[in-house]
Structure 1
């Protein structure tokens, strides 16, 4: 608390008791860069106060230097492992994470960007009491997204939570190209809305975002469409465009966390099994040198996408909703919309834009019909009807 008081005094120019009616000494959460305390302002607003540890700014440059030395040492001992990209990413991202004003701007940007999702809550930022080391936010409570007991007590449907998360991140990645890259369970809360009683997701900690270039975003859209609809020629094409080279099967497996056999059969056709999980774990150890080379080849934007995908998969595994057909179909919708938006933006022809809009509508209708059949009739009939639709209608990309 002495250090917390010191940072608040230095950055806001006042003592804690001058700024707040009450301030909880015990942090609600603590991490390597900062900790968060619950407090009440004099006007009655309950807030969350994020305070950076005072020595982090000075220590961070030493940490990066030490990381660089260790990575170079590993390269000397094991030439096949190339991890200098890790140092480059740390140099780029750590200063951004240490600037809480940047975090506040990210929070406001994503709240505006996804305002059409009424189930998503992003804390409001109180700028008048925020600095680079202190961030004052609206206090939003809830249970962690991996706390199944909390969800059972509050009658929250885990499948609904999984669907909402899929929609949020598909929209970020495929449509907007602005991606929250730290969705670990401490940063994703779930709750019943106090006013509506509807299920809500609270997204916290907006310090680490990845901004995707349009070229990368569109190639990534095409790749996921190809993976979902099992078009292996296009899977190879877009893996190559993303720098995978001969490692394109490995890139497909890493993105989907499925075996190459499952990728070839269709990742949306069958859920992952325990034996496949074991196979993936064993192969991860076997192919570690190739994974290292692949990570050094792909665009730097891909690295935080890998991290985001893995954290989301961890949440899905805990909820027992991993690799559901619904999540793949939500991704496919976003890919269709993103590619249609791009194509319409790059044509001046009214007829061509109308044609693109019509194709987009048909593709989205095709996905919705497939989802309906999955819910009502089961997977076997759905696969049969999907095959018929694919024969009758144009592919959704």
Structure 2
């Protein structure tokens, strides 16, 4: 009897696996690469090759750690392994490319060879033929594309890990941008996430100092949001409502009658990428105006609204000369937003203020409230600001990006500080992870535009921190007198901040906020 049931279970499992395989093949035009076991095997082989490369060629080299020969060999192995990982991402596509792009932003935790290699995924995302795009449009919009569009540019104006965007003109003459999801992504996402979870656990056994489960957890949470283009449309409308009185911010409007979970149609927006120095110069746009507005935009998202656009790479931020003479910011790709609680924003604002005031006691206190225990508050502060602990102690506002000396120090000591960084990322409040990404990318733009020394971003951040802290305190007030007292304190603090900021424009003194 037991043998009979065992056979039933065995054949049921086999039947389910075959059924899933056939369904996956059907959904992906019978592409063998879509089969879960094929993708899993390919990923496992890549991880095994990378692990073997380090074990045999680096750790088994007999070279003494820290020597020039060892470091040169390690760099060579990093490049070789990064290329292997890149090949895996490009072959499996979909979620793998999304994770690879995320890896490209982790320059504070991964070797530079990995970061630089994976950055190519931003410009070499997969592209589908027009025939495939038309099939998705016809399936989702229930009409032939020729009945909807007067013209449809066959060449995409943008490609990403999950979708590609085409310029088109509707029958009524309206110019639109049509974002179409890669058809294979939905079918592969679930099996890919399971595969990566197993691979991360395998890597954790091989390299216990690395803790990357947080990356899997965040990807599992974020991918379903990014695959739902209707949610992206709602996000776009929500952020547009928050900033409806901000004349320099433009969010393209959604055409809901031509939008589904896999197709997003929005008004077409023109402009140059925010890091396009030639475009900025030819259009006589002030780089400081760009970074000041971006600083204000993201600071208000974080501290005022608690709703943060979490994919601010240059391709998603356009700029254009306005009729007013300054520049407009055009924000694209609203698939992923971090939703921050009031408690988180209050603690994060206080943590920022403790950094700016160089108050170690408060740094420790508020880092603990954000999930960081013990002496790791210093590492947490370095990761939040992108600066060294020495710079934080001296005052970081004059230079918003790391000096060459700081960057060299991090590279030389990466193996020592990496386990601490991994611990911070593994234990910090989950809402913080997308903030890390946002902070890093905004700092990168300031570095490219060479605007960090004006301190504008830090001024805006400080003002938003002050407002956030006092707004939270006023909510808890029980009397009008107490609320009035806090109101006066708030504006007095902002007055001192602005006065001190003006003073620093004419001095070379190290920055220290005039309040604690």
Q: TM-score, normalised by structure 1?
A: 0.93
Q: Is residue 2:356 matched to residue 1:228?
A: yes
Q: Which residue of 2 aligns with 1:218?
A: 346
Q: Is residue 2:148 matched to residue 1:19?
A: yes
What is the distance in 1 between the residues matched to 2:269 and 2:382? 37
Please tell me whether the aligned partners of residues 326 and 371 of structure 1 are also in contact (alpha carbons under 8 angstroms): no
What is the distance in 2 between the residues matched to 1:6 and 1:316? 41
Q: Is residue 2:461 matched to residue 1:331?
A: yes
1:255 to 379, 384, 387: 384
Q: Which residue of 2 aligns with 1:125?
A: 254
What is the distance in 1 between the residues matched to 2:472 and 2:491? 15
1:192 to 321, 343, 347: 321
Q: CA, structure 1 residues 49+197, in 2 after alignment: closer, same or farther (shift >3 Å)?
A: farther
Q: Alpha-carbon deviation of 1:139?
A: 0.7
Please tell me whether the aligned partners of residues 5 and 16 of structure 1 are also in contact (alpha carbons under 8 angstroms): yes
What is the distance in 2 between the residues matched to 1:361 and 1:89? 38
Please tell me whether the aligned partners of residues 399 and 452 of structure 2 are also in contact (alpha carbons under 8 angstroms): no
1:151-230 matches, within 5 Å, as 151-193=280-322, 195-230=323-358
Q: Which residue of 1 aligns with 2:169?
A: 40
Q: Is residue 2:212 matched to residue 1:83?
A: yes
Please tell me whether the aligned partners of residues 286 and 326 of structure 2 are also in contact (alpha carbons under 8 angstroms): no
Specify which structure has the bigger relative contact order, considering alpha-carbon pairs within 8 angstroms and separated by 6 or more residues. Answer: 1
Deviations 1:116-146 (A, max 9, x none): 3221111111111110000010111111111
What is the distance in 1 between the residues matched to 2:166 and 2:225? 22
1:361 to 473, 481, 491: 491
What is the distance in 2 between the residues matched to 1:281 and 1:251? 18
Please tell me whether the aligned partners of residues 398 and 453 of structure 2 are also in contact (alpha carbons under 8 angstroms): no
Q: TM-score, normalised by structure 2?
A: 0.72
Q: Which residue of 2 aligns with 1:49?
A: 178
Deviations 1:244-292 (A, max 9, x none): 2221110011111111011111111456422122223333343111111
Q: Is residue 2:203 matched to residue 1:68?
A: no
What is the distance in 1 between the residues matched to 2:225 and 2:398? 40
Q: CA, structure 1 residues 323+15, in 2 after alignment: closer, same or farther (shift >3 Å)?
A: farther
What is the distance in 2 between the residues matched to 1:136 and 1:127? 7
Q: Which residue of 1 aligns with 2:72?
A: none
What is the distance in 1 between the residues matched to 2:415 and 2:326? 43
Deviations 1:10-64 (A, max 9, x none): 0101111111111111000011100001111122211111010111100111211
Q: Alpha-carbon deviation of 1:373?
A: 2.5
Paired residue secondary structure (1:379):
coil
Q: Alpha-carbon deviation of 1:233?
A: 1.9
Please tell me whether the aligned partners of residues 285 and 326 of structure 2 are also in contact (alpha carbons under 8 angstroms): no
Please tell me whether the aligned partners of residues 268 and 324 of structure 1 are also in contact (alpha carbons under 8 angstroms): no
Which structure: larger Rg? 2
Q: Which residue of 1 aligns with 2:75?
A: none
Q: Alpha-carbon deviation of 1:3?
A: 0.9
Q: Alpha-carbon deviation of 1:155?
A: 0.5
Q: Alpha-carbon deviation of 1:334?
A: 0.5
Q: Which residue of 2 aligns with 1:265?
A: 394
Please tell me whether the aligned partners of residues 47 and 137 of structure 1 are also in contact (alpha carbons under 8 angstroms): yes
Paired residue secondary structure (1:191):
strand
Q: Alpha-carbon deviation of 1:85?
A: 1.7
1:92-171 matches, within 5 Å, as 92-171=221-300
Please tell me whether the aligned partners of residues 463 and 494 of structure 2 are also in contact (alpha carbons under 8 angstroms): yes
Paired residue secondary structure (1:216):
helix
What is the distance in 2 between the residues matched to 1:284 and 1:295? 15
What is the distance in 2 between the residues matched to 1:320 and 1:63? 39
